[in-house]
Structure 1
Amino acid sequence: MDTNQQEVPEYAQKGKFSALMEVLKVSTKLGLTSFGGPIAHLGYFHNEYIRRRKWMDERSYADLVALCQFLPGPASSQVGIGIGVLRAGLIGGLVAWLGFTLPSVIALVAFAFLLQGYDITGAGWIHGLKIVAVAIVAHAVLGMGQKLTPDRGRATIAVAATAVALSWHTAYSQVLIIIAAGVIGLWLYRKKAAEGIPDLQIPVSRAFAVFCLVLFVGLLAALPLLRQAGEAGWLAMFDSFYRSGSLVFGGGHVVLPLLEREVVPTGWVSREDFLAGYGAAQAVPGPLFTFAGYLGAMAGGITGAVVATIGIFLPAFLLVVGALPFWNGIRNSPKLQGALVGINAAVVGILLAALYDPLWTSAILKPMDFALAVILFVMLIFWKLPPWVVVLTGAAGGMLLGLM
């Protein structure tokens, strides 16, 4: 049966406009408060979309995270786009991306124009935000671990994934860990099909999905040729950022050397301005890929910021929309359910590894840092305070620790 036609999507039942406004409101709140990098963002998403609003179940969220880990591009942004599409259709995916991305793009463009030359990397409130990310990810690891690693086999896969992720740092290590976990899960759980996997309503036709995948490959192949054949200008910038966004595995930080090779040798941005912008990017919420907005603004003002931002994020959108309509079939295949069990356990292990490095190692530098992290963790898990309260508390706590 075609899962795309099973029932009327939820966003159609409740009114498309109201669903879009709901997605915009929640994603913008996340865009204003999600500090700490892509792994921390998955923790924020889990808290907001899954725990509080229950837009997806735990298993489906973990499957979506695993899918986006397979795809090149910014995994956290792709997860957000996927949730937006599932909640409110194609426009919902676009709105989710805008809400999550625009706050940091605007902030970094402002940095490009107004704050060059200021060193903010040592500010106490930034250190406090790093500690917030530790608490958020610890909360996510605990919640996902309870659901996705309930037995000895899956817990072992998660611990093994943690050990490999911490000891083997390459651009493709996460993808290879997930593949290995899928093979192990297929072997261990081949006779034990997962129960109760909900069949998600995916409001994207397979024909349109194939179009998106073809467009992704076509642009990747055609843009360099068009750049060589005609005037460079904005097309050259779009090609550079589109290619960077298409060829990155392993998170936002991996894109930095690619971007540096694209913008520094060409003279668009000096090495000093590149490093200053990278420091500024650590101070704002949202995805690190919005660093492209800063680089575009440095190279070509507002127009450059728009071209660079669209260029680097377009591959992520095309790949997610192209993959989602085939997702239900993959998730519900009896032969692949065992593989997904292993993959979900590995996702928990990868999150646990990221909790230690880079989050813990860069944020917990002294006993008082740990004390603040524990307070923030308790605020989340026992007091059940909203994330924005925890973020403000962490920033204030970091400033206080800086004065001690």
Structure 2
Amino acid sequence: MRDNAWRVFLVFLRLGFTSFGGPIAHLAYFRSEFVERRRWLDDRSYSDLVALCQFLPGPASSQVGMALGLGRAGWPGLLAAWAGFTLPSAIALILFAFGIAQYRGLAESGWVHGLKVVAVAVVAQAVWGMAASLCTDRPRVALAILAALLTLLLPAATGQVAAIVVTGLLGHLGLKVAQPAGGRAHAYPVSRKLGALALVLFALPLAGLPLWAAASGSSTVALLEGVYRSGALVFGGGHVVLPLLQAAVVPSGAVSNADFLAGYGAAQAVPGPLFTFAAYLGAVGSGPLHGGFGGLALLGVIFLPAGLVLIGALPFWEALSHRPGIQATMAGINAGVVGILLSALYDPVWTSAIHSRMDFALALVAFALLVFGRAPPALVVMAAALAGWAMAL
């Protein structure tokens, strides 16, 4: 049964307003809505789709949503699902950016400092959870440590790309991964020819934008290149986008580190995908891309590679998923992103937020509430903002 794009948009819009808790929670919401309640697909097909999107670079929950929209209402359905799930949090973060930009002292206020401190707890929680699931043996722990060292020792963007390449290569050469059982894939209206074209379009900006930025010297092109690269190289979870985006916008001066971390803290309090943080950066940044237009522009740029690589992979997934080399490479990259996130936990997150014993105490309490208390992230973020305000009195 097919739906029109408007109905798909309304379903995902409700999820965009209510899906708190990060990508794993989003996938649980999707299963409840589309497998159990609406029966758009069966459990096996949904599991296959989740496996594909976790294998791909990009925000897994958003890619699952795009594919569900594509399968239900064709290409308009893909756009409708993405827009419905993404716009609520993107608009909320753009509005927050307007507040930061309008009142420059706001970035240094007590409650915004609380947002910076809670970012330490949120990133530490991501490292904790991802290490438990992605670094399950000594070789993978070693790859994570290697990735952390590379990103600490090399310049930001260079170190991150080097970490992904090196851990992927070493994983391909040395890791042993259990192969998934076979199964029939759910059908999507994407031919192999169109999939191949999408993969070419995915790769072209990765090669072309750096050359264009170097040749033109344009800060705008350099910003677009950094944000596109961030969206294209995120493996292992949305939190990994933090160090990639930080390298893209802070050293150039497009966004100050204080504004960056304030926005990252605020991003934990809104529903939907963490990639909408790019909308905040575009709105709060300086230069030609700023304000509402800049926010929407960077939002589109960071999600574009996720959509292209999803379209490119759908018709080839069955063949790729059973190749031992592909699985081992991805296992190495996934271990590497734990190390990338670990280095980001130190710099810029820790170094920019923790300045006193009280800051450390607040971060420790927030971490305990998130990891051991299973408290909703939105409540922890609001409590940390209040605590930061109280400490500044």
Regarding TM over 0.5, the answer is yes
Paired position in structure 2 for 1:181:
167
**Structure-to-structure mapping, 1:105-184, within 5 angstroms:** 105-109=94-98, 112=101, 114-115=102-103, 118-184=104-170
Residues 81 and 94, structure 1, Cα contact 8 Å, conserved in 2: no
Paired position in structure 2 for 1:351:
341
Paired position in structure 2 for 1:253:
246
Cα–Cα, structure 1 residues 157 and 85, in superposed 2: closer, same or farther, change >3 Å?
Answer: same
Write the distance in 1 (CA, Å) between the matches of 2:377 and 2:288. 35
Residues 293 and 309, structure 1, Cα contact 8 Å, conserved in 2: yes
User: How far did residue 204 of structure 1 move?
Assistant: 6.2
Cα–Cα, structure 1 residues 313 and 331, in superposed 2: closer, same or farther, change >3 Å?
Answer: farther
Residues 118 and 381, structure 2, Cα contact 8 Å, conserved in 1: yes
| Code of the aligned partner of 1:133 | A
Paired position in structure 2 for 1:317:
303
Alignment length (residue pairs) = 338
TM-score for both structures, normalised by structure 2: 0.68
Cα–Cα, structure 1 residues 155 and 291, in superposed 2: closer, same or farther, change >3 Å?
Answer: closer
Cα–Cα, structure 1 residues 392 and 199, in superposed 2: closer, same or farther, change >3 Å?
Answer: farther
Is 1:24 the counterpart of 2:17 in the alignment? no
User: How far did residue 169 of structure 1 move?
Assistant: 2.6
Cα–Cα, structure 1 residues 134 and 295, in superposed 2: closer, same or farther, change >3 Å?
Answer: closer
1:339-376 Cα deviation digits (max 9, x unpaired): 11111111111122212221122222222222111211
**SS of the residue aligned with 1:119?**
helix
Instruction: Tell me which of 86, 96, 102 is aligned to 1:97.
Output: 86
Write the distance in 2 (CA, Å) between the matches of 1:200 and 1:365. 52
| Code of the aligned partner of 2:13 | L
Residues 171 and 333, structure 2, Cα contact 8 Å, conserved in 1: yes
**SS of the residue aligned with 2:157?**
coil
**Structure-to-structure mapping, 1:329-348, within 5 angstroms:** 329-348=319-338
1:219-277 Cα deviation digits (max 9, x unpaired): x989x99xxxxxxxxxx9997875664466762233337976xxxxxxxxxxxxx77x8
User: How far did residue 338 of structure 1 move?
Assistant: 1.1
Residues 114 and 387, structure 2, Cα contact 8 Å, conserved in 1: yes
User: How far did residue 93 of structure 1 move?
Assistant: 2.2
Write the distance in 2 (CA, Å) between the matches of 1:340 and 1:136. 24
User: How far did residue 320 of structure 1 move?
Assistant: 1.6
**SS of the residue aligned with 1:283?**
helix
Residues 50 and 60, structure 2, Cα contact 8 Å, conserved in 1: no
Q: Aligned-residue CA RMSD in angstroms?
A: 4.3
Q: Which moved more, 1:321-330 or 1:390-399?
A: 321-330
Paired position in structure 2 for 1:308:
294
Is 1:368 the counterpart of 2:368 in the alignment? no
**SS of the residue aligned with 1:365?**
coil
Write the distance in 1 (CA, Å) between the matches of 2:143 and 2:183. 24
Write the distance in 1 (CA, Å) between the matches of 2:187 and 2:162. 28
**SS of the residue aligned with 1:384?**
coil
| Code of the aligned partner of 2:165 | I
TM-score for both structures, normalised by structure 1: 0.67
Paired position in structure 2 for 1:38:
none
| Code of the aligned partner of 1:397 | A
**SS of the residue aligned with 1:150?**
coil
Residues 94 and 279, structure 2, Cα contact 8 Å, conserved in 1: no
Residues 238 and 307, structure 1, Cα contact 8 Å, conserved in 2: no
Paired position in structure 2 for 1:39:
none
Residues 279 and 294, structure 2, Cα contact 8 Å, conserved in 1: no
- Runs (5+) with no aligned partner, structure 2: 33-45, 71-77, 213-217, 234-242, 268-276
1:104-157 Cα deviation digits (max 9, x unpaired): 223334555x43xx3223211111111211111222222221111111111111
Write the distance in 2 (CA, Å) between the matches of 1:164 and 1:198. 39
Residues 189 and 341, structure 1, Cα contact 8 Å, conserved in 2: yes
User: How far did residue 51 of structure 1 move?
Assistant: 7.5
Write the distance in 1 (CA, Å) between the matches of 2:392 and 2:183. 48
Write the distance in 2 (CA, Å) between the matches of 1:129 and 1:49. 23
